């Protein structure tokens, strides 16, 4: 069976999805990156190395470490997160006009009109509108993050919590505990605070029209889903495989890209290869760009990260 791999390497999680020639999702993996993107990609590939019934016909990578992952696996295409998430959303909700995506340490909104991305916004600075915000507050309240949503749904009178930043939210949350508010009301208040932060920052100035699709790992939290529905006054659609839709999107893009040509996929054996990731400062101009470098057995495989394409064009040049 010919299949297509999509790999989405983010700062917190790494996702891999496998689709067939008709775009059906055959399998997926979702695991923590833990600051080790190379090892995370290798672990994903190792999970599938015994699938002898699969013929890899194309591979795509996306996410913050998409170039690194692309070099390791021999990707046929490398796409940004906006494009990949939009394609993934449209695959399951063809008429989608707004995509809300919240990951571990970043969040984004994608505006789609007539099947084409027309605008987007991203938040990569403050953690108050991301999954790490919920993780941190759950730890502070001594509950499992998996229990966050179900407990929040039990609230009938959510408290208002300042959610402009993690520090303010935590301080306000402690105060609400001290004056006797229930845990459920505090959790629901945190969900509403996170949604306010997202809409007032990432979604500022964006025209949110239904159907609205919510994806990313945070979409598991039904408390956040309810908070979005109440804030936007519209149903929120959480599609299947929402936590890996970026990987599914780039797998679908790889399927479109190949057109019968031979894939450059390096094979599942790359899960056993030892790589070295390093960086250096380019002094070719006053920009002093930090150049990322991937090597194997002393041989440089790729360099990237500059404002110009100097090192992409001269990848074998010594640093």
pLDDT digits (tens, 9 = 90+) for 189-213: 989 988 988 898 899 899 999 999 9
Is there a contact between 210 and 97 (Cβ–Cβ < 8 Å)?
Answer: yes
Nearest to 283 by CA among 303, 311, 313: 311
Instruction: Name the pLDDT band for 313 (thresholds 50, 70, 90).
Output: low
80 and 102, same structural domain? no
226 and 264, same structural domain? no
Give domain status of residue 319, yes or no.
no
Nearest to 87 by CA among 257, 261, 262, 220: 257
Give domain status of residue 296, yes or no.
yes
User: Which tens digit of pLDDT belongs to each residue from 35-56?
Assistant: 888 999 999 999 888 888 899 9
- DSSP summary character for residue 65: T
Look at the block and give the residue holding tokens 């959790």: 187
pLDDT beyond 80 at 281: yes
Strands (E) across the chain are located at 2-9, 13-20, 25-32, 55-62, 77-78, 98-102, 107-113, 116-123, 212-215, 236-237, 276-281, 290-296, 299-304
Domain span at residue 116 reads 94-238
Q: What is the pTM of this model?
A: 0.87
Exposed / middle / buried, residue 43 (Cβ in 10 Å: 0-12, 13-18, 19+): middle
Give domain status of residue 99, yes or no.
yes
Give domain status of residue 137, yes or no.
yes
Q: How far apart are CA 287 and CA 319, in angstroms?
A: 16
Give domain status of residue 318, yes or no.
no
Instruction: Name the pLDDT band for 294 (thresholds 50, 70, 90).
Output: confident
Domains identified in the chain, total number? 3
User: Which tens digit of pLDDT belongs to each residue from 208-239?
Assistant: 999 999 999 889 999 999 999 999 999 999 99
Q: How far apart are CA 68 and CA 185, in angstroms?
A: 43
Q: Return the CATH number at 7.
A: 3.30.420.40
SS3 content of the chain, % helix, strand, coil (to 5): 40, 25, 35
Give domain status of residue 289, yes or no.
yes
Phi, psi of 122 (to 5 degrees): -135, 150
57 and 36, same structural domain? yes
Nearest to 241 by CA among 77, 15, 4: 15
Nearest to 225 by CA among 161, 165, 153: 153
């Amino acid at each position: 069976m010919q299949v297509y791999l999509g790999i989405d390497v983010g700062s917190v999680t790494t996702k891999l999805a496998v689709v067939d020639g008709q775009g059906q999702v055959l399998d997926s993996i979702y695991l923590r990156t833990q600051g080790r993107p190379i090892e995370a990609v290798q672990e994903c590939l190792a999970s599938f190395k015994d699938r002898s019934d699969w013929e890899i016909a194309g591979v795509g990578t996306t996410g913050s470490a998409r170039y690194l992952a692309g070099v390791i696996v021999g990707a046929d295409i490398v796409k940004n997160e906006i494009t990949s998430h939009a394609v993934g959303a449209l695959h399951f909700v063809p008429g989608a006009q707004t995509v809300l995506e919240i990951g571990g340490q970043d969040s984004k909104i994608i505006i789609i009109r007539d099947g084409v991305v027309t605008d987007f916004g991203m938040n990569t600075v403050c953690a108050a509108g991301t999954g790490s915000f919920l993780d941190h507050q759950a730890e502070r309240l001594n509950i499992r993050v998996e229990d966050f949503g179900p407990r929040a749904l039990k609230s009938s009178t959510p408290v208002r919590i300042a959610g402009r930043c993690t520090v303010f939210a935590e301080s306000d949350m402690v105060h609400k505990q001290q004056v006797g508010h229930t845990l459920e009301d505090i959790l629901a208040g945190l969900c509403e605070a996170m949604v306010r932060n997202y809409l007032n920052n990432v979604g500022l100035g964006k025209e949110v029209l239904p159907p609205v699709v919510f994806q990313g790992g945070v979409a598991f939290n039904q408390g956040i889903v309810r908070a979005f529905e109440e804030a936007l006054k519209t149903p929120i659609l959480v599609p299947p495989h929402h936590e890996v839709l970026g990987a599914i999107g780039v797998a679908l893009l790889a399927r479109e890209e190949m057109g019968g040509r031979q894939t450059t996929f390096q094979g599942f054996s790359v899960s056993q290869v030892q790589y070295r990731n390093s960086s250096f400062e380019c002094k070719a101009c006053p920009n002093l760009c930090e150049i990322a470098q991937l090597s194997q057995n002393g041989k440089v495989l790729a360099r990237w990260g500059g404002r110009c394409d100097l090192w992409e064009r001269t990848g074998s040049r010594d640093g």
